Structure 1
Amino acid sequence: MSTPAAERSSILIVDDMEENLVALQAVLGPLEQHLVTAHSGEEALKAMLRQDFALVLLDVLMPGMDGFETAVNIKRLDQTKDVPIILLTGNEVDRDYAYRGYAIGAADFLAKPIDPWVLRTKVNVFLDLDRKSRQLAVQADQLRRLLVAEHSRGAGRPRPGGGQPAEGGEAEQLAQITESLVRLEVMLRDQETAESPELADRIAELERTVRRLEASGHTE
């Protein structure tokens, strides 16, 4: 069963050698994601400013702006700083390369020749995090809209006791939404280190909250 286009994530593959780009596209093809290629660090940065990516596969040894410099620039920009980076390089390079990669914020490091199964497995981890992050963002938007709607509905509704604010259920619902949004914002900021089961549990909890609040709104 193919992945619907709307559910696909974008992956940026950066390498100055066309044959390497073709090989990586062939390896990642079965994952059915949107693959974008760049032949240089400059081209990669331009692509990342044009669209969102779930992951960047970045070759270290490139002429001009190499992979390390490109990664530093990616992490420097607010728009791209949270995008995970997997650095790729030949197996003959200095062992300090891995340390340098992690020091500048790379999420992982793979030496060529790259095992296709290992690469797909690692990429799938980040794709899953991206899907969970997007689901959480949708839930956050739903909760914000419900919070605004509940506040507006409450402001125009006659209150018992001569206009006094309602207590109990409504106040508890508003507090629940606010608390969920705060926890959600924290989790979105920490998405690279958050475990997938925890994200799944949070999504399920927020979905229950949304359904419960929507049902409450329809019955009033």
Structure 2
Amino acid sequence: MNHSELGNGLGPRLGTSVSRSLLRLTSMRREDVLVLTAAGEVDLSTTPALSESLADAIAQRPPALVVDLTPTTFLACAGLSVLLAAHQLTGDRACFAVVAGSRASWRPLHLTGVDRLLTVHRHLDDAVAGAAPMVVRTVVADAAILFTATGGARAGAAEVLTEELRQVSELCRGVVLVDVSACTVPAVDVVGSVRAAFTRDGRDRGGIRVLTADEDLRKALEAAGIACCVPAGPGR
């Protein structure tokens, strides 16, 4: 697939907009996330404008691309096809998400099942936060290490988590607390990263505790034989 499959021309550059009577498209940056907002009707007559704008956005190679459909008043199947094509085109090079904060945008995504193929949020702030890069912090105290990972929805985050955990495993011979309570890496990847970092000669190294309040992740960790617990909240 190439950009021509999304549109033959280029849409708005950053900070500009295009309008085709029933649809207005604007783009802006929020940190390193490129947000493309579609306001109005997305139908057969306006879909080309959305295609062109998405092609231009992808050509800019942002780390993350979010399409905000909250101001959309009508979303036809043609628009859904464009979103799916954009998602396929970004592949593993960028995090792609859609915001459907209105009934007019959310209902077509849900009824057609497209919301199971794309990452869909109800609020723009959630989409931007979910697309944020993973940030890790390591605190050493006596014989223990507290490792904290936040964010991490974009491509390659699992590999980064594995490498960072491997470095921690080489540093500490005591207790390692791995706090992933604010990490958005999928549960299966968190389990894989911990196993890859703390397994030696086929045996799991002791003293590892994963802190998470996510029930699905806790079950996955327990099934893998990895100790976990719920992190203490404020005031505890």
TM-score over 0.5 (shorter chain): no
Higher relative contact order at CA 8 Å, sep ≥6: structure 1 or structure 2? 1
The two structures have a TM-score, normalised by structure 2, of: 0.36
Q: Which has the higher strand share?
A: 2
Q: Which has the larger radius of gyration?
A: 1
